[in-house]
Copies of this chain bind each other. A is one copy, B any other.
Amino acid sequence: MSQQNPPFYSDEQTVPETPDPGSAPKSWSRTSMVGRRQPRVDGYELVSGKAVFPSDISLPGMLYGSVLRSPHPNAIVKNLDTRAAEQMPGVRAILTGKNPEANIVWSYPGDVKSMLFESHCRFEGEAIAAVAAENSYQAGDALRAIKVEFEVLPATVDELKALQAGAPRIHDGGNRTKPPESYQRGEVSRGFTQADVILEHTYRTECEIHTPLERHGCVAKWNRDRLTVWQSTQGVYRIQSQVSSILGMPLSKVRIIGQYMGGGFGSKLQADKETIIAALLAKKTGRPVKLFMSREETFIAAGNRPPTNMRLKAGVKKDGTLTALDFTCVATGGAYPAGGTSGVDWQIKDLYQCPNVRTELSDVYTNACPSRPFRAPGHPQGSWALEQMMDALAEEIGMDPVALRLKNIPAVSQARSGNPPYTSTGLRQCLIEGAKSFGWREARRAIASSDKDRNWRKGVGVASGTWVAGAGGPPSTIIVKLFPDGSVNLNMGASDIGTGTRTVMALVVSEELGVRPDLIDIDNADTATTQYATPSGGSKTVPTESPAVRAAAIHVKQQLLAMAAEELKEKAASLTMKGGTILSLNDPSKKIKVTDVAGLKKQGIIVGIGYRNPNPANRATNPFAAQFCEVEVNIKTGEVRILRFLSANDSGRVMSRLTYDSQVIGGITMGIGFAMMEARILDRNQTGKIVSGNWHDYKIPTAMDVPADIVSVPIDLPDNEANTTGAKGLGEPVTIPTAAVIANAIYNATGIRLASTPVSPVMLRRALAAKAKETSQKDELK
């Protein structure tokens, strides 16, 4: 493309020969390794406990850090007395805002700042002080010995109340993080006049907590002016950049290592305050410091998916043509600018063809923990509104919900300026193939004709979705080393956040070099020893890294073929590789095993380097999904059983079938949690404090909540225009429509439209009772 490829340089600065650009295909037509059901290449490490996660790190002389947090959602620290704590056994350092080195401004995306240790605590969990002690118990005891005098202020934890006149101001500038964000195309009022049916509904989604299995934290260690941090993170280079900037250190003196990490879902894209605190404590004590949050701390201080209050008005013609969508949302990222409304309107703006769309997003402050990106930020929230609305519209016009969606499939991205065409759009296939595999029509028919007197009533639902990103893109650099015995080392900066990135990349190398995936050693996620990568998140890791990995493998192959060509007295362009052998296409007698190539033996290794090229200009690359599920609802108790689920995904080429399916299962599981049980509950009436701040009170799905019958239907459409592996993002689209699918299935079973997540039996029972009363009243009136 337009980017100049920098040439190799030897020490002699020889002009490199022009390579034959035709010698490597631009895209794979067929693959033998990529797309396989390959068990994870790091499966043994992960299940045996041999993999060393940052939270497993234990260094000689290591201290344990712990953070004192505000117990109040809104309070001013009037006095902080650490004298007793300093005398506690095992205590080696105490840090507060009074320590000059801790006098650090903490930046959020907007203009509002806080301090590393803030004296005006605007949420429960705000850091006030920190301790390093010989063990975590002593650290905890010392925290309890710090005497804090608070001036407790009234808290505002309800985002709608925050906008009311006279509400206490969370920041001096008021309770809006910024003016309402508006988007408009066409003219919604005109759109509504063209509609045959107009519906309007209010929706709410509750705040969800990431709760990754490995908690948030790090181990920090100094070597004079060099800092090494083992951090549980999605992106070591981003952490390096932040730590370097906050501590005013050269990047070369900050090393972040995070080879394994136990989940993040967007909450581990950033350096935590804890990262900086651990570094400061380690500096102060001259010893390594381990600082991992407790599970309870992660509930109040490690981010969340913002709760939303949405209103959607939609117009449709009788033939299913959408004429207008009018959407407003009030949401909160908590006490600091943290993107409370980010991404909430993307489904409304871009999923279906609609000429007249207006959205308005109000992001407000509340006295709550700042949110962080959470798997498809904003998208499941918007989908909760849009996809229930689509279901309602379909019913109103008497159209099948799948048919209504098929009617409105766009060819271009309408929300992007210039309306760029998609590099590939598999939404149609997702809906058609998904419905077919699910047995949609049959199921709908069976339910329609089922016995309505049973307490357990079945229902099926559908919803689709798109993810705003997923194309990947530069920069990325990858190095592949081919050893003389044909085995390989792959060096990559990106984190494998549990999605199977290592396995995908091994398959890509295996495809190009014919080496068994288990013979590929992978080193990743270390700013000192591995290559540059952007954080793993946004469903962009595979589409970003896999083309660079492929380029590096091809680069190895070309060097190897050049060596073989010399030895076989054949042109490199006439050679091909099959298994471990290099063959001439012209002369079958000319062949040589990779392990017999003398040049490779002599050189000891071949090093290949690969870059990620820019994405095609004026094109949109988005993944699409359609999901289907069947539920069974007990209309007496409100209990919901999710019987089966199906997800049909267009995420470009299927790179690794087993990890692909794992992603689908994981996304649906997370969506079930979002729809059915997960809710950070704040005490809105009195204290403003969290009342579901642990895994006992905050429920996430267990094996009993997830159906055994989850079917993955990959729409295997390699997106060869997007990049050279044809992959698009998968991680986020698989969770976007899930909650709405369940809501639509529950409606199909019960006739109850759900306004709010989570759908508890209590809430559903109440709605069913109300509906029963209404029906009986109607019956009475008849």
**A contacts, CB < 8 Å to B:** 1, 3-19, 21, 23-24, 26, 44-45, 48, 50, 58, 60, 223-224, 226, 237, 241, 244, 250-253, 255, 474-475, 477, 479, 481, 483-489, 491, 519-521, 523, 526-532, 534, 547-548, 550-552, 554-555, 558-559, 562, 602-605, 607-613, 723-725
In this complex, what residue of B is CB-closest to A222?
B50
Whether B6 contacts A14 by the Cβ 8 Å rule is: no
Tallying the copies of this chain within the complex gives 2
Whether A250 contacts B487 by the Cβ 8 Å rule is: yes
Would you list 9 pairs from A and B whose C-beta atoms are within 8 A, ordered by A residue?
A: A6-B19, A11-B724, A16-B19, A18-B18, A252-B483, A474-B603, A523-B528, A532-B607, A609-B609
Whether B562 contacts A485 by the Cβ 8 Å rule is: no
- Whether A489 contacts B9 in the complex (CB less than 8 A), given A224-B44, A475-B603, comes out as no
Whether B10 contacts A613 by the Cβ 8 Å rule is: yes
In this complex, what residue of B is CB-closest to A550?
B11
What residues of chain B lie closer than 8 Å to A611, measured between beta carbons?
8-11
Kindly state the separation between the CA atoms of A534 and B603 in the bound complex, as whole angstroms.
10
Kindly state the separation between the CA atoms of A26 and B489 in the bound complex, as whole angstroms.
32
What residues of chain B lie closer than 8 Å to A5, measured between beta carbons?
7-10, 14-17
Whether B45 contacts A17 by the Cβ 8 Å rule is: no
What residues of chain B lie closer than 8 Å to A484, measured between beta carbons?
241, 251
- Whether A15 contacts B10 in the complex (CB less than 8 A), given A48-B224, A521-B226, A530-B529, comes out as no
What residues of chain B lie closer than 8 Å to A612, measured between beta carbons?
10-11
Sample of 19 further A-B pairs with CB below 8 A, known A5-B10, A251-B487: A5-B7, A5-B9, A6-B19, A7-B17, A8-B555, A11-B610, A13-B19, A13-B554, A14-B21, A14-B613, A250-B483, A250-B486, A251-B483, A255-B521, A475-B604, A477-B607, A479-B479, A481-B531, A489-B528
- Whether A489 contacts B7 in the complex (CB less than 8 A), given A58-B60, A605-B475, comes out as no
What residues of chain B lie closer than 8 Å to A11, measured between beta carbons?
547-548, 550-551, 610-613, 723-725
Whether A223 contacts B50 by the Cβ 8 Å rule is: yes
Whether B44 contacts A252 by the Cβ 8 Å rule is: no
What residues of chain B lie closer than 8 Å to A10, measured between beta carbons?
3, 5, 551, 610-613
In-complex Cβ contact of A521 among B6, B528, B531 (8 A):
B528
In this complex, what residue of B is CB-closest to A603?
B475
Kindly state the separation between the CA atoms of A11 and B244 in the bound complex, as whole angstroms.
31
Kindly state the separation between the CA atoms of A614 and B459 in the bound complex, as whole angstroms.
73
What residues of chain B lie closer than 8 Å to A723, measured between beta carbons?
11
Please give me the 5 A-B residue pairs with the lowest Cβ-Cβ distance, nearest first.
Answer: A252-B487, A11-B547, A529-B529, A251-B483, A250-B487
Cβ of A266 to closest chain B Cβ, rounded Å: 20
What residues of chain B lie closer than 8 Å to A603, measured between beta carbons?
474-475, 532
In this complex, what residue of B is CB-closest to A255?
B521
Whether A16 contacts B12 by the Cβ 8 Å rule is: no
Kindly state the separation between the CA atoms of A13 and B25 in the bound complex, as whole angstroms.
8
Most buried by B among A6, A18, A58, A488: A6
Whether B529 contacts A6 by the Cβ 8 Å rule is: no
What residues of chain B lie closer than 8 Å to A16, measured between beta carbons?
4-7, 16, 18-19
Cβ of A26 to closest chain B Cβ, rounded Å: 7
What residues of chain B lie closer than 8 Å to A7, measured between beta carbons?
5, 7-8, 16-19
- Whether A252 contacts B475 in the complex (CB less than 8 A), given A8-B6, A9-B610, comes out as no
What residues of chain B lie closer than 8 Å to A223, measured between beta carbons?
44-45, 50
What residues of chain B lie closer than 8 Å to A489, measured between beta carbons?
252, 527-528
In-complex Cβ contact of A519 among B1, B250, B562 (8 A):
B250
Kindly state the separation between the CA atoms of A613 and B9 in the bound complex, as whole angstroms.
10
In this complex, what residue of B is CB-closest to A481?
B532
Most buried by B among A44, A251, A491, A608: A251
Kindly state the separation between the CA atoms of A532 and B482 in the bound complex, as whole angstroms.
10
What residues of chain B lie closer than 8 Å to A519, measured between beta carbons?
250, 252-253
Whether A253 contacts B551 by the Cβ 8 Å rule is: no
Whether A8 contacts B609 by the Cβ 8 Å rule is: yes
Cβ of A229 to closest chain B Cβ, rounded Å: 14
What residues of chain B lie closer than 8 Å to A250, measured between beta carbons?
483, 485-487, 519
Kindly state the separation between the CA atoms of A554 and B12 in the bound complex, as whole angstroms.
11
Whether A6 contacts B558 by the Cβ 8 Å rule is: yes
Cβ of A66 to closest chain B Cβ, rounded Å: 23
In this complex, what residue of B is CB-closest to A605?
B532
Kindly state the separation between the CA atoms of A19 and B16 in the bound complex, as whole angstroms.
8
- Whether A252 contacts B488 in the complex (CB less than 8 A), given A226-B521, A474-B603, A529-B529, comes out as yes
What residues of chain B lie closer than 8 Å to A558, measured between beta carbons?
6, 9
Most buried by B among A13, A224, A550: A13
What residues of chain B lie closer than 8 Å to A555, measured between beta carbons?
6, 8-9
Most buried by B among A530, A550, A554, A611: A611
Cβ of A317 to closest chain B Cβ, rounded Å: 44
Most buried by B among A23, A484, A528, A602: A528
Whether A224 contacts B607 by the Cβ 8 Å rule is: no
What residues of chain B lie closer than 8 Å to A526, measured between beta carbons?
529
In-complex Cβ contact of A605 among B253, B477, B488 (8 A):
B477
Cβ of A502 to closest chain B Cβ, rounded Å: 13
